[in-house]
Structure 1
Amino acid sequence: MKKSLLTLSFGTFGLGMAEFVMMGILPYVARDFGVSIPQAGHLISAYAMGVCVGAPLMVLIARSYPLKKILLVLVSLYAVGNFFTALSPNYAAIFVMRFISGLPHGAFFGVGAIVAEKLADKGKRARAMALMVAGMTVANLIGVPLGTFLSNLTSWRLIFLFTGCWGIFNLLAMLRWLPRMDALPNNGLKGQFAFLKNLSPWLLIAATAFANGGVFCLYSYVNPLMTGVAGFSTGSMSWIMVLCGLAMVSGNLLGGRLADKYDMPSVLSSIQAIAALAMTVLFFFAGVQPIVLSMLLIAAASLFAVSSPTQIMLLQNSRGGEMMGAAFLQIAFNMGNALGAWSGGAAIDSGKTVNYTAIIGASYLIVACGLILIFKSWQNKQLIPFALRK
């Protein structure tokens, strides 16, 4: 395993901690600042807003700088944002700090994807991308539960101090192990957006939003689904979430291997179709515990199994504006998360049982699968010489 690629994984681990740990510590934060849990939930939205604003903004500012220098600045900003989050004296301050902490997230994934592609051995680009993304999956598996435990044991501020310190560690690791890389060719402001004149990147961006929305429509309400419909005990949710984390780690690594070996659009559409089928089965058999658990794990695995092939395909279809293309992909990820959570919540608020989130999510995944099939057909018709086939 290349240490240079490992530094990218360290970065996504820290970003995963910062983004997702808030979901498990909302009651502690709300109590500390004297606000309601729904108000504290806006701190999750603040981070997502930072991602959506920061992804294109950071690319526009930093596009002419060497890639390593950009990553070092992004990690520094991430560390500072988390240190000040831990020290926030009131709700307004932590809201601002959460927004600032989210600014480097999308740009890091964007620049990191380009660096991972450059560092990858021949024929192993998707696996290199999967290694970078692995940090995010490990954060879901280990970091977030550990953060929730520490917050319960001591203070929620401790976990953000830890993530800030992790940022410093990541900075030192990059200084030591990441080789110097020249800046990408500066094609000017217009050049960064020129790739959007083609249909292919739009199809990938839309498919990403729908695919993420499909899984998050279900996953955002996994607790009430498993305890209220499937009949699992509240105490069993801890090991169920660990299993979901393991599924994400496994799905990410498997997706990278398959994408290196087979046609990427076919791999992507197949994963989305399998996830849609699993969620449809879950909808009809939500009261059967072995089935609902198995289908949930398949859906969780698919969430990150599509990450590597999607990022590589978008990089291949945004030449001249690779950083902006990767940034748009991160915006699509987060918009999909918001779409899924909103759709599932709307169904529940309308009086539907929680398992209806699965069938809504399955419909989004079918749309995503269809968009990828259109993408593949369009690529074949255009005969664009991108190395999508291995």
Structure 2
Amino acid sequence: MRFEHIFAVYTFVGPLVTEVADLPVSFIPFAQAFFGVGLALGTLLGGRLADSYEFRGMVIGIVAMLFALLILAFFCNYGVVLCAMLFALGFAVQVAIPTIPVRMTQMAPEAPTLMGAMNMAAFNAANAIGAIAGSMTIAAGPGTVSAVWSGFVLTAMGLVFFGLVYSRLRYVGCSVEPTDRVLAGH
């Protein structure tokens, strides 16, 4: 699954605020806070979905990210829309992400620590790829908003890839057992 879009966009929050939305530099921390609050609140729903459903939270989150990225790409020159979509992206990403470590741990019950380490390594690689993709699109000349488009393309690629491997993941046996819900406190 691909989550490069997080850093394709988040790396360039400052320029999106100052150059695109034409807000003062002092507003950058507030824009970042909208993203952070979205992350925190999205975790509440994402964790519940990950505990209760196989991949539903991840797919819902990714589709929501695509919509938020589209709106952001077209309307980020408006400060209110920029902040709302940063919140929406943070929320959507945390709706999607909790499913991944839960399912990966179920795929490797004999080595959950190794699977967790691999998961974190993959997310770190995705962060770097996203920042590089955003930088490359901006450097190519279309402007700061092109980083948002690179995030959209990377997210869409991830959803297509998931669609291609979904049947294989179901074959591996990534189902939620009732004991998993009890262990998670639900």
Say whether 1:340 aligns with 2:160. no
Q: 1:389 Cα shift?
A: 7.3
Mapped partners of 2:69, 2:131: distance in 1 = 15
Residue 242 of structure 1: which of 9, 29, 33 is its match? 33
Mapped partners of 2:91, 2:146: distance in 1 = 20
What letter corresponds to residue 324 of structure 1 in structure 2? L
1:347-374 superposed Cα distances (whole Å, 9 cap, x missing partner): 1122221111111101111122223333
Among the aligned pairs, what percent are the same residue? Answer: 21
Q: 1:248 Cα shift?
A: 1.0
Q: Does the CA-based 8 Å contact 2:46-2:96 persist in structure 1?
A: yes
Q: 1:239 Cα shift?
A: 2.0
Q: What's the TM-score, normalizing by structure 2?
A: 0.87
Mapped partners of 1:241, 1:284: distance in 2 = 19
Say whether 1:287 aligns with 2:77. yes
Say whether 1:316 aligns with 2:106. yes
Structure 2 partner of 1:229: 20
Q: 1:271 Cα shift?
A: 0.5
Q: 310-319 or 231-240: which moved more?
A: 231-240
What letter corresponds to residue 271 of structure 1 in structure 2? G
RMSD, aligned α-carbons: 1.8
Structure with more relative contact order (C-alpha pairs < 8 Å, separation 6 or more): 2
What letter corresponds to residue 297 of structure 1 in structure 2? F
Q: What's the TM-score, normalizing by structure 1?
A: 0.43
Mapped partners of 1:288, 1:243: distance in 2 = 15
Task: Flag as ranges the 4+ runs of structure 1 deviating above 4 A.
Answer: none
Q: 1:223 Cα shift?
A: 0.5
Residue 305 of structure 1: which of 95, 98, 103 is its match? 95
1:122-169 superposed Cα distances (whole Å, 9 cap, x missing partner): xxxxxxxxxxxxxxxxxxxxxxxxxxxxxxxxxxxxxxxxxxxxxxxx
Task: Tell me how many residue pairs correspond in the alignment.
Answer: 178
Residue 65 of structure 2: which of 275, 295, 305 is its match? 275
Over 3 Å counting, the alpha-carbon distance change for 1:243 and 1:286 in structure 2 is closer
Q: 1:276 Cα shift?
A: 1.4
What letter corresponds to residue 281 of structure 1 in structure 2? I
Secondary structure of 1:264's partner? coil
Q: 1:306 Cα shift?
A: 2.5
1:183-212 superposed Cα distances (whole Å, 9 cap, x missing partner): xxxxxxxxxxxxxxxxxxxxxxxx1xx21x
Say whether 1:214 aligns with 2:2. no
What letter corresponds to residue 115 of structure 2 in structure 1? G
Contiguous gaps of at least 5 residues in structure 2:
179-186
Residue 367 of structure 1: which of 157, 160, 167 is its match? 157
Mapped partners of 1:307, 1:271: distance in 2 = 8
Q: 1:321 Cα shift?
A: 2.5
Structure 1 partner of 2:181: none
Q: Does the CA-based 8 Å contact 2:60-2:95 persist in structure 1?
A: no
